[in-house]
């Protein structure tokens, strides 16, 4: 039995373009239920600055699911600590940002929401507020009490997951371990089945070194770690191809038949994806007990309040969250 799908959205840094893209997005009709977790005064003030009309509908968890009318937003209100000035970061509002995120997580964990979509945040100002923060991915993993998650970006025709995320390049090799890589591939494989409806996913695996190690002459991580992991998982029936040299993997010959690529580090796979689909890509956190997607861009402080924003990535993030929520619901009904 399918339950109504309701998506929670956190705009992120209030001084950035998060409120702008949410307001712009509200100007189109929506056939699904969207709940924005934010300060209504910030949204109304930004809409006024942009010269756009906006009607706030207070969120009530007991109310029935309704379609989104043009120019309206259903808002679960949380208040900023300090008045927001577009383009000017303020550490005093960091607690508000994290409270919005935490409320979205709680709502997803208790099935109030079907998925969480997050807007852009500014890591530096959060750290300036005295809170150790490396990113959404790590924060959500801790909030969900999840030991390992996988970061994946997707755009039309390409999904790229990462074996390591925000690490200095000098630490990547040491971070790629036998058990860690097995867990990463299992999380990716399971998500492609449950969230994307792919019964037997084909995953391409990048090598770490140039030419995938050249038989050990350009590094031995492939021989010592990556190949043994692939052999073990292939024996369990997973369709894994690799390790392949990253400089020749991202070509139609390979990608046309693949459901996802696993890159070994952040800048190995993401430049290709962003070149292909920047502005139309989505960041997805795999391995959480909840569905989480995000825009693929930053806060763009200089554009806040100007009206010069592109909602392509937000639109993609919301549509992906809906798609994943429907697939996961169907998968669980079958299994």
Domain ranges of the chain: 1-146+288-335, 149-285
Who contacts 232 (Cβ-Cβ below 8 Å, separation ≥6)? 182
Q: Read off the tokens for 269.
A: 């796979």
CB 196 within 8 A of CB 324: yes
DSSP for 131-193? -----HHHHHHHHTT-S--EEEEEETTEEEEESS-S--HHHHHHH--HHHHHHHHHHHHHHHH
Beta bridge partners of 52: none
CA distances from 180 to 98, 147, 148, 210 (A): 28, 11, 8, 22
Domains 1-146+288-335 and 149-285 in one fold: yes
Quote helix, strand, coil % in the chain, to nearest 5.
Answer: 45, 20, 35
**CA-closest candidate to residue 42, choices 67, 1, 10, 70:** 10
* Degrees to nearest 5, angle at CA 294 with 288 and 295: 165
pLDDT single digits (tens) 145-197: 998 999 999 998 899 999 998 889 999 999 999 999 999 999 999 999 999 99
pLDDT single digits (tens) 95-136: 999 999 999 999 999 999 999 999 999 989 999 988 888 788
Architecture of domain 149-285 in CATH? Answer: 3-Layer(aba) Sandwich (3.40)
pLDDT at res. 182: 98
pLDDT at res. 35: 95
Q: Please give the CATH number for the structural domain made up of 1-146+288-335.
A: 3.40.718.10
pLDDT at res. 33: 87
Which residue ranges of the chain lie beneath pLDDT 70? 1-2, 61-67
């Amino acid at each position: 039995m399918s339950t109504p799908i309701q998506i929670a959205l956190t705009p992120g840094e209030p001084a950035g373009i998060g409120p702008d893209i949410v307001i712009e997005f509200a100007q189109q009709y929506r056939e699904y239920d969207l709940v924005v977790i934010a300060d209504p005064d910030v949204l109304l003030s930004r809409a006024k600055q942009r010269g756009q009309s906006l009607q706030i509908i207070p969120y009530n968890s007991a109310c029935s699911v309704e379609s989104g009318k043009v120019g309206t937003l259903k808002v679960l209100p949380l208040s900023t600590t300090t008045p927001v000035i577009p383009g000017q970061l303020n550490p005093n509002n960091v607690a508000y940002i994290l409270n919005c995120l935490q409320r979205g997580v709680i709502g997803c964990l208790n099935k109030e929401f079907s998925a969480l979509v997050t807007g852009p945040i500014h890591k530096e100002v959060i750290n300036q507020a005295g809170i150790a923060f490396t990113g959404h991915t790590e924060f959500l993993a801790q909030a969900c009490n999840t030991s390992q998650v996988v970061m994946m970006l997707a755009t039309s025709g390409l999904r790229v997951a990462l074996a390591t995320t925000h690490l200095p390049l000098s630490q990547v090799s040491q971070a790629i371990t036998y058990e860690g890589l097995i867990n990463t591939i299992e999380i990716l494989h399971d998500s492609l089945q449950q969230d994307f409806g792919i019964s037997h996913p084909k995953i391409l695996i990048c090598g770490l070194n140039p030419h995938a190690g050249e038989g050990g002459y350009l590094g031995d991580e492939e021989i010592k770690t990556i190949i043994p992991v692939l052999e073990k998982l292939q024996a369990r029936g997973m369709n894994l191809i690799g390790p392949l040299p990253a400089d020749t993997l991202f070509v139609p010959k390979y990608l046309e038949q693949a459901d996802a690529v696993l890159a070994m580090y952040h800048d190995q796979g993401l430049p290709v994806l962003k070149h292909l689909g920047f502005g139309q890509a989505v960041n997805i956190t795999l391995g959480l007990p909840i569905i989480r997607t995000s825009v693929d861009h930053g806060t763009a402080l200089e554009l806040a309040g100007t009206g010069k924003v592109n909602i392509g990535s937000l639109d993609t993030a919301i549509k992906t969250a809906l798609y994943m929520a429907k697939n996961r619901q169907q998968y669980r009904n079958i299994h």
